[in-house]
Amino acid sequence: MDVLERYEPLIGDFAAFRDACERPLPSVVRVNTIKTTPDRARAALDEAGIEHETCEWNDGLLRLPQDQPGANWPYVHGWLHGQEEVSAVPARVLDPDPGDRVWDACAAPGSKTTQLAALMDDAGRIVATDDSLGRISALRTNAERLGVTNTAITHEDARNHSLKPFDGEEYDHALVDVPCSCEGTIRKNPDTLDEWTIEHVRGIAGVQKGVLRRAVQATRPGGTVVYSTCTFAPEENEAVLDYVLAEEACELVDVDLPLESVPGVTEWAGEAFDESVRRARRIYPHHNDTGGFFCAKLEVTA
Amino acid sequence: MSDESAGDDGATAENVGTRFDRLPATADERAVEGRSTRAEVLEWWEDRFGVDPDTFADYTFWERGAGKVWALRGEEPTPVDIEGLGITFLRTRQEHWKPTLEAVQRFGDAADRNVIHLSREEARRFVAGEDQELDWEGDWGYLIVTADLAGETEPLGVGMYVYGELRSQVPKGRQREF
């Protein structure tokens, strides 16, 4: 069955979308500014004879057309981290400052956690949560290799995240980059849709709603929560936002995105969503020649 | 920067290996036998590698697991029962304390003694986990290993120098063959 057909009504240039989904993606690395600068990382790749090109919207993201991220000297020094281009979007949208207190609700394996830490100059606090010990092991390995010292890691179901270990202190920001049906990663994993079912989409949407609710509750009034997925399914995107807008004290705000994108959709499968979900952004693979992505920013109002 | 809890009864407590306990500031405040103190940790980095204690002014140190010391930027209430707190930093509770590769890559820039600089070929063997014969006039024991990268000297990892040989301490998961 062809899962992507269901999105034809949403996507303007569906042929371009289909074509892009069939092209593989190049390897991309993020420069770890806790340990070096983009200029020095580029110089180190030059020394190693590794071809690279800088992503137009982010000086610290380098495409490696010919190489894998892990097999070079700057990687060994913890200067680089393999991370898909669109996966670097939500931490940029969250835009934390050094000294902030940030919750990363579904953190492992830590690409976005470590990017948040770098944006915070490794100061302030990140609490990074995951419900799988195996994935936490990968998170810890990545955080250590990149020299991240401002992060505390908790093992729990994010829907029941406890502030107790930290004396109940609320967060300035939360990143809710939830597990999803991953349709947007099809260019990296061509078989990602083989096991797609609508039951799975509905089931995982329930988890996503629970995690986003908890994030809004755990963030102080005036703080922000970024919600992101790598799927096109409105059930996991706008429908989740619509639910949390009704249940919790929060509102959607505009997302400042340096990439081509389109607004969130207000109708899907006979359901209408809160008009403000238009403030969320959909990134399709043919927009910027990347993977697919969805990103929204909420402000906590009480 | 310490407030180690001694337990309500004030008796000497045992190390609980599954949670993070903040290191006491000094030996006078030590409630858990064998636990290193913040003062000892700072002194060790200064004595062994010439690292100015101010380098760690914003850091708290924690023990989780026997002798495993972690470094965290900033403070948190102690004890805390979670899965990670900053980076693993130092192995204590043994005769010769041993810094981690992560600590050396993060803070090794501030070291000015017991630092051995390797050529590209020597560095290649070091990260592959190989031992190698090298000339070294300084102390035996754990050394900070550096190599050149993009025009500057950069800390790479930890080696142990004994009997004319530099033994790579790069953990298996961090080894690379070039």
Q: Tell me the pTM.
A: 0.96
Contacts B77 to A, Cβ<8 Å: 165-167
* pLDDT tops 70 at residue B6: no
What's the pLDDT score for residue B12?
A: 60
Q: Do B58 and A123 touch (CB under 8 A)?
A: yes
Q: Does the pLDDT value for residue B11 go beyond 60?
A: no
Chain A residues lying within 8 Å of B71, measured CB to CB: 149
DSSP H helices in chain B: 38-49, 101-107, 120-127
Closest by CA to B71, choosing from A109, A116, A112, A148, is: A148
CB pairs under 8 A between A and B: 95
Do residues A148 and A257 lie in contact, with contact meaning Cβ atoms separated by under 8 Å? no
> Which residue(s) pair with A154 in the sheet?
A129
Report the share of chain B in percent with pLDDT over 90.
89
| Domain edges within chain A | 85-300
Q: A206 vs A188, which has greater pLDDT?
A: A206
For residue A143, list chain B residues with Cβ-Cβ distance below 8 A.
84, 87
Give me the residue label for tokens 């924690």. Answer: B62
pLDDT of residue A1: 54
Average pLDDT value over all residues in chain B = 93
Per-residue pLDDT reduced to its tens digit, A41-58 = 999 999 999 999 999 999
What is the average per-residue pLDDT within A98-108? Answer: 98
SS3 A253: strand
Residue to test with chain A: of B145, B149, B158, B176, most A Cβ within 10 A: B149
Distance from CA of B65 to the nearest CA of A (A): 16
Percent of chain A clearing pLDDT 70 (strictly above): 100
Average predicted confidence (pLDDT) for chain A: 96
Which of B72, B78, B83, B126 is the best substitution to test chain A (most A C-beta atoms within 10 A)? B83
As a whole number, mean pLDDT of residues A166-179 equals 96
| Helix, strand or coil, per DSSP, at residue B41 | helix
Flag whether residue A278 sits within 8 Å of chain B, measured between CB atoms.
no
Can you tell me the mean pLDDT for B13-39?
Answer: 93
CB spacing of A167 vs B82 below 8 angstroms: no
N-to-C CA span, chain B: 43
Give yes or no for a contact between A222 and A171, defined as CB atoms under 8 angstroms apart. no
Residues A55-72: tens digit of each pLDDT: 999 999 999 998 887 789
Nearest-CA residue of chain A relative to B106?
A147
**pLDDT above 90 coverage of chain A, percent:** 94
Residues of A whose CB is below 8 A from B56 = none
Kindly provide the ipTM of the predicted complex, given to two decimals: 0.94
Residue of A nearest to B152 (CA): A40
- Using an 8 Å CB-CB cutoff, list chain A residues near B88: 144
Residues of chain B neighbouring A44 (CB-CB closer than 8 A): 149-150
Does the pLDDT value for residue A32 go beyond 70? Answer: yes
Say yes or no to pLDDT of B5 above 80: no
Question: Which residues are CB-neighbours of A74 under 8 A, at least 6 positions away?
Answer: A36, A41, A44, A45, A48, A80, B149, B150
* Residue of B29 and B11 predicted with greater confidence: B29
A43 → closest Cβ in B83, B84, B150: B150
**How sure is the predictor about B161, in pLDDT bands with cuts at 50, 70 and 90?**
very high
Residue A227 forms beta bridges with which residues?
A: A176, A296
B10/A contact by beta carbon, under 8 A: no
Angle at A240 (CA atoms; ends A9, A165), nearest 5 degrees: 150
pLDDT digits (tens, 9 = 90+) for A238-251: 999 999 999 999 99
A133–B86 CB contact, under 8 Å: no
What CATH architecture does domain A85-300 belong to?
3-Layer(aba) Sandwich (3.40)
pLDDT per residue over B77-101, tens digit each? 999 999 999 999 999 999 999 999 9
Predicted confidence at residue A77, as pLDDT, reads 97
Verify whether the Cβ–Cβ distance A123 to B127 is below 8 Å. Answer: no
The chain B residue lying nearest A149, using CA atoms, is: B86
Identify which has the larger pLDDT, A56 or B5: A56
Specify the 3-state DSSP secondary structure of B157.
strand
Calculate mean pLDDT across residues A169-181: 97
Q: How far apart are CA A96 and CA A221, in angstroms?
A: 16
A230 flagged as catalytic: yes
How close are the terminal C-alpha atoms of chain A, in Å? 45
In DSSP terms, B143 is beta-bridged to B159
